[in-house]
Amino acid sequence: MVSLSGRIVLVTGASRGVGKGIALSLGEAGATVYVTGRSHQDGEALGSLPGTITHTAEEVTALGGQGIAIPCDHRDDEQVENVFKRIMAEQGRLDLLVNNAWAGYEGYADNRHLPPDAPFWNKPISFWDENLAGLRWAYVASRFAAPIMAEQHHGLIIHISFRVPESGNPAYNIAKTGTDRLAREMADQLRNHGVAVVSLSPGLVRTELVLKNAQWFDMSTSESPQYTGRAVVALAGDPQVLARSGQALLVADLARAYAFDDIDGTRPVFTP
């Protein structure tokens, strides 16, 4: 595995799911990983899902990295700004930002938005806001990371997205399409500063929420959360990553390009 010893990383929304998987893989690579989220103590998660940023940070450290939990509600811009101030005060640099914080699935955790294939007019209008909120959070966090990385003339920003295969879920699909476009727009402005920006799409990930609602999914080609994490590690360890800046990437494609497997030794293939 690529060594990221000495790298300073921030993963947003890392209490559980893909964010936690990314943090754990970065820990295995030896990085110092700051993790944010609202679930700081047991019992705080929506829908009684397991996981907290405290537990994630402890697991990162146990795997060989250094995990540091910072409670943060990404709906509050001041809290987000303070995360970056703390990282700079403690480390003086930031090498990688992974924008994973996301609220679009919360209605599935508490059953407000089930079944997932219900037409948009049968879902509350708030479903739009919950899906698009994550796009704003990625923009805001990147807004604070960009000047740090530009001054360093080094850095990588990864927006976690999803390759939209077909129409059928307007709020979700527009949010993910917008995430890919956000990477392209930011990449164009940051390239001359030595900073790369990409969007990264996994396939079906075996998150706590997906496993809770497994009856709605075909799990035959599902991936672990760490599979996405290994893609992040590969990108962060690639000295030529700037050549990929602005692209919308698939975890499965990167697994072939960088020759890494999922934690069970398989190499799941996601076909949008």
Show which residues are catalytic. Answer: 172
User: How far apart (Å, rounded) are the C-alpha atoms in residues 149 and 213?
Assistant: 39
User: How far apart (Å, rounded) are the C-alpha atoms in residues 247 and 174?
Assistant: 17
Name which of 207, 3, 228 is nearest 98 in CA terms.
Answer: 228
Alpha helix positions (H), 29-67: 53-62
Which tokens sit at 244? 């990929």
Crossing angle (nearest 10°) for helices 17-28 and 225-236? 50
Half-sphere exposure of 185 (CA within 13 A, CB side): 11
